[in-house]
């Protein structure tokens, strides 16, 4: 298989360039990550992140033939050659396919990704009804891989002020949580022309989510909650 991979070495001082590789996938090597690991055996200067290799950790997000995805859950058979791999669009590149996620996680922390409840802790768990728990479906599964945020044109042009689809989906996850007592504060924080309302419902986020989630729908739900909160 032919591969074209974005290479950047900060120490060399050279500009990023595309490097061609040729590889015959071995027996049992079905996924793009398998091929990358084999390529790394050939050329140990090639840098990429990976950990769980099964779509749970979200480490190996990259731009694959022009669309963001996780290398570990992308079958080689689904890819046109040359398989072109680039880092997540708009993220600062540390080296090759490894990007700087600092700002992404800063936005994540800004939405306070934890249940806020200042009441004294109960003796047992804070219980939810099955219906309350079901409100979290489609939200809690996010693995923070940044495929969505790295494919969002609103984020490309406003990465400092717009929180991006991943952080907003997580924001909805805690707004929807029956155990959380900070819904009003959360909605007031998000009620901003950039933080939330820079979303233009392009739905690139939903197109590329490797977990099949719909961050755009989560953003719509926040807007609806905001409307109800203010009326």
Partner 1 sequence: MNARSDAPRFLNLFQIRFPVGAICSIGHRVSGVILAAAVPLVVYALDRSLAGPQAYARLAAALATAAGKTAVVVLAWALAHHALAGIRHVLKDVDVGASLGTARRSAWLVLAVGGIIALATAVLVA
Q: Which stretch binds partner 1 (CB under 8 A): 80-88, 109-117, 168-176, 188-196?
A: 80-88
Q: What's the min distance (Å) between Cβ of 207 and partner 1?
A: 4
The least distance separating partner 1 from the CB of residue 217, rounded to whole angstroms, comes to 5
With CB under 8 A as the contact rule, the residue among 25, 38, 128, 156 that binds partner 1 is: 156
Half-sphere exposure of 124 (CA within 13 A, CB side): 2
Smaller CB separation from partner 1, 10 or 28: 10
Q: Is 217 in the site for partner 1 (CB under 8 A)?
A: yes
Judged by CB under 8 A, the residue of 55, 204, 222, 226 near partner 1 is 204
Burial 174-211 (b: 16+ CB within 10 A, else e): bbbbeebebeeebbebbeeeebbbbbeeebbbbebbbb
DSSP state of 132: H
Q: For residues 91 and 108, which CB has a smaller minimum distance to partner 1 in the complex?
A: 91
Please state whether the peptide bond connecting residue 82 to the residue before it is cis, i.e. omega within 30 degrees of 0.
Answer: yes
16 touching partner 1, by CB under 8 A: yes
Using rule CB under 8 A, residue 153 touches partner 1: yes
Is 158 an interacting residue with respect to partner 1 (CB under 8 A)?
A: no
Q: Which residues pair with 209 in a beta bridge?
A: none
Please report which helix (H) or strand (E) contains residue 3, including its range.
strand 2-7
**Given 19, 57, 90, 191, the residue binding partner 1 (CB under 8 A):** 90
d(C-alpha 27, C-alpha 182), whole Å? 52
Contact region for partner 1 (CB under 8 A) — 3-11, 26-34, 35-43, 116-124? 3-11
Query: Could you give the string, one character per residue 44-63, with x where binding to partner 1 holds by CB under 8 A and - elsewhere?
Result: -------------------x
| Least Cβ distance, residue 158 to partner 1 (angstroms) | 13
8 binds partner 1 (CB under 8 A): yes
Task: Write the DSSP string, 163-202.
Answer: --HHHHHHHHHHHS-TT-S-HHHHHHHH-STTTTTT----
Query: How large is the C-alpha radius of gyration of the chain?
Result: 20
DSSP β-ladder status, 83-86 and 2-7: parallel
The three-point CA angle 195-201-205 to 5° equals 85
Question: Using the rule CB under 8 A, which residue among 39, 58, 71, 86 binds partner 1?
Answer: 86
Task: Name the residues that contact partner 1, by CB under 8 A.
Answer: 6, 8, 10, 15-16, 63, 65-67, 84, 86-94, 99-100, 102, 151, 153, 156, 200-204, 206-207, 214, 216-217, 220, 223-224
């Amino acid at each position: 298989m032919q591969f074209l991979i974005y290479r950047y070495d900060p120490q060399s001082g050279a500009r990023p360039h595309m490097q061609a590789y040729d590889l015959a996938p071995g027996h049992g090597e079905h996924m793009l990550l398998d091929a990358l690991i084999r390529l790394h055996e050939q050329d140990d200067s090639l840098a990429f992140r990976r950990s769980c290799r099964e779509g749970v950790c979200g480490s190996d997000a990259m731009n694959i033939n022009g669309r963001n995805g996780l290398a570990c859950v992308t079958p080689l058979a689904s890819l046109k050659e040359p398989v072109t791999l680039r880092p997540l669009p708009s993220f600062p590149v540390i080296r090759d396919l490894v990007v700087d996620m600092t700002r992404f996680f800063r936005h994540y922390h800004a939405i306070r990704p934890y249940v806020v409840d200042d009441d004294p802790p109960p003796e047992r768990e804070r219980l939810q009804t099955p219906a309350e728990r079901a409100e979290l479906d489609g939200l809690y599964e996010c693995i923070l891989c940044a495929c969505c945020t790295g494919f969002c044109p609103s984020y490309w042009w406003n990465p400092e002020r717009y929180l991006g689809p991943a952080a907003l989906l997580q924001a909805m996850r805690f707004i929807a949580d029956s155990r959380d007592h900070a819904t009003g504060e959360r909605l007031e924080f998000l009620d901003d022309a950039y933080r939330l309302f820079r979303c233009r419902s392009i739905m690139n986020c939903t197109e590329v989510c490797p977990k099949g989630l719909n961050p755009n729908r989560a953003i719509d739900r926040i807007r609806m909650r905001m409307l109800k909160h203010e009326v």
